[in-house]
Chains A and B, each alone.
Chain A
């Protein structure tokens, strides 16, 4: 085909250049998805020779057993808390910092530190800070019980509130929470650490977005009658940050679905499965207990979640969202 050869003189060499990447892409990314899909219909475990087909059994279990209901609810709770709060804090911090006269870089640096530090190490440091008896947090909280002014403020007794009905008053009497050891607090504490770690990343992206908004837009908005800071935000800043928001939301969503380090190191999914998130469930069931079939089914559900989110993001980006 002399014609094709002259039109694509580099055909052979190009194939050679992409071949290593293509082979690895297929072996490392595509084949595993296929394997996860196949294994999710079996009761396979490592070391056994044959594949036992069990049809949809694994999926039935995942969607009906109470363990997995806890898995979905704790994962969703984590995501539902971490995503809006860390995006909101990232936006809030970036707006504050952007409007400062001095000290912008200092705050930016500090808020970005958690993004750089190994989450596992910092999770353990948080565990010490949150330690029920010797931790600095409960220590400070109970020291506050001795200070009359603070005590009456925090318990609400200064306006006649009954001390024993307030969270702080009960803490002073009966001790402050165990945080990671209490099933009512554990997931929230894990989510708090997640927010602590994630919001600086969102802040930096929002700062980049803010600095690309042309000042002329604010001028014209002002001429059109947008006098208050709020209306300038609503009419200019927020719509102009639309693409950044879509991106920040997507990446925070995907990352929070994958929460693992803090759970594995601090709670092991407990107490009473209250922090049994999906990645930890896959790890525990399939890798520690060798129940590969179930783990594969959770993997497939997990992948569908994550891919769906990204597809929605792409669709939004293609439509060039501006929330106006």
Chain B
């Protein structure tokens, strides 16, 4: 009796969770499906998930004077090639990688020494500096976007890579996190390094950094996910210069001038932007969950 009841309980739980999962997956389904369908299939809501993949003629290609045979293609190939042809998507992807990696590297370069000084050295003013770090954790950078934008405009940096990167170079959260981690590193290790004649700078990079790899990796995931997906800040500081567009900006511009026939390529672009992180997440779930929920360790 009780076994019977608990298994029907279990079934109800699964039912609820499956309905939830379907709603969660819905936009992913739409995105992937549209990225494979022909314009007609999208407009009439036919073709199932994959579309019929019936041969279609690229009308723009015909207008260029080529024969219809040369211009015949199938929707999935049309959509994905169009995504790269309509806009310099490769350039956007490169910008995304460049900006995201630069931000993380500079954040690490700045926070590790500071975290070391705050956790392992005794000096006058340490408590004051740490109090400032704690206070700064309160400030969301997006909220001060306007004054930052004014400052960047005043020094002529709007529409540069610097504008995309500089406001994120200081991660008080990174300092805080690494400090907490460094506190667990035994002092003996540092004393031994000093006896070997290492300077404090080389201790940071050759003793502390190697012990901090797991924490740093989690922080890297946290930082990279946030900045690859960020739309607000690039939208503020990049105005119209396509060469500096990050992937979300490129997608937004695509949407701005998309008509019915471009929906497939647009969703192909969206798929290309979303896929790298999703795949990385599926491959290293534990690390990702750890990294993204880092903020929960406070």
List the interface of chain A (C-beta within 8 A of B).
4, 7-8, 10-11, 13-15, 17-18, 20-22, 24-25, 28-33, 35-36, 39, 46, 93, 96-97, 99-101, 103, 105, 107, 109-122, 124-126, 128-129, 134, 136, 139, 196, 200-201, 204-205, 208, 244, 247, 251, 254, 258, 260-261, 264-265, 279, 282-283, 286-287, 292, 295-296, 299, 302-303, 306-307, 310-311
Contacts and interface: CB of A to CB of B under 8 A. Distances in A.
Contacts of A129: 26-27, 30
Contact of A93 (B17, B151, B248, B292): B17
A110 B21 contact: yes
Nearest to B25: A110
Interface residues of B, number: 92
A122 B274 contact: yes
A11 B126 CA distance: 10
Given A32-B147, A103-B14, A113-B278, A20 B110 contact: yes
Contact of B231 (A99, A208, A261, A296): A261
B14 A100 contact: yes
Given A25-B136, A29-B172, A265-B255, A17 B232 contact: no
Given A14-B123, A33-B144, A306-B140, A125 B27 contact: yes
A18 B118 CA distance: 8
Contacts of B21: 107, 110-111
A299 B147 contact: yes
Contact of B138 (A112, A121, A310): A310
B282 interface: yes
Contacts of B28: 113, 117, 122, 125
- Nearest first, the 4 A-B pairs at minimum CB distance are A32-B147, A21-B114, A24-B170, A125-B27
Contacts of B147: 31-33, 35-36, 39, 296, 299
Nearest to A266: B255
B289 A21 contact: no
Contacts of B251: 118, 120-121, 124
Interface in B197-243: 200-201, 204, 225, 228-229, 231-232, 235-236
A15 B231 contact: no
Nearest to B200: A13
A120 B17 contact: no
B24 A110 contact: yes
A31 B148 CA distance: 9
Interface stretch (B51-59, B76-84, B85-93, B263-271): B263-271
B195 interface: no
A200 B281 CA distance: 14
Nearest to B145: A282
A128 B124 contact: no
B282 A25 contact: no
A283 to B, nearest CB: 7
B23 A196 contact: yes
B76 to A, nearest CB: 17
B192 to A, nearest CB: 16
A4 B140 CA distance: 38
Contacts of A139: 45
Given A11-B124, A114-B24, A134-B43, A39 B281 contact: no
A279 B232 contact: yes
A32 B267 contact: no
Interface in B12-70: 13-14, 16-17, 20-21, 23-28, 30-31, 34, 42-45
B293 interface: yes
Contacts of B295: 251
A261 B232 contact: yes
Contact of B140 (A24, A118, A204, A258): A258
Contacts of B117: 10, 13-14, 17-18
Contacts of A20: 110, 113-114
B75 interface: no
Contacts of B162: none
Contacts of A103: 14, 17
B227 to A, nearest CB: 11
Given A32-B148, A128-B267, A310-B138, A303 B143 contact: yes
B161 interface: no
A200 B25 CA distance: 12
A17 B31 contact: no
A128 B132 contact: no
B4 interface: no
Nearest to B249: A120
A118 B27 contact: no
A118 B228 contact: yes
Most chain A CB within 10 A, of B45, B111, B166, is at B45
Most chain B CB within 10 A, of A8, A93, A118, A122, is at A118
Given A110-B24, A113-B278, A292-B150, A17 B142 contact: no
Contacts of A24: 110, 169-170
15 contacts: A10-B121, A20-B114, A36-B144, A103-B14, A109-B285, A116-B281, A116-B288, A118-B277, A125-B267, A126-B30, A205-B296, A261-B232, A299-B147, A303-B139, A310-B137
Contacts of A114: 24
Nearest to B237: A287
Contacts of B148: 28, 32
Nearest to B279: A116
Contact of A96 (B13, B43, B282): B13
A136 B26 contact: yes
A20 B34 CA distance: 48
A93 B288 contact: no
Given A17-B114, A103-B14, A306-B143, A126 B123 contact: no
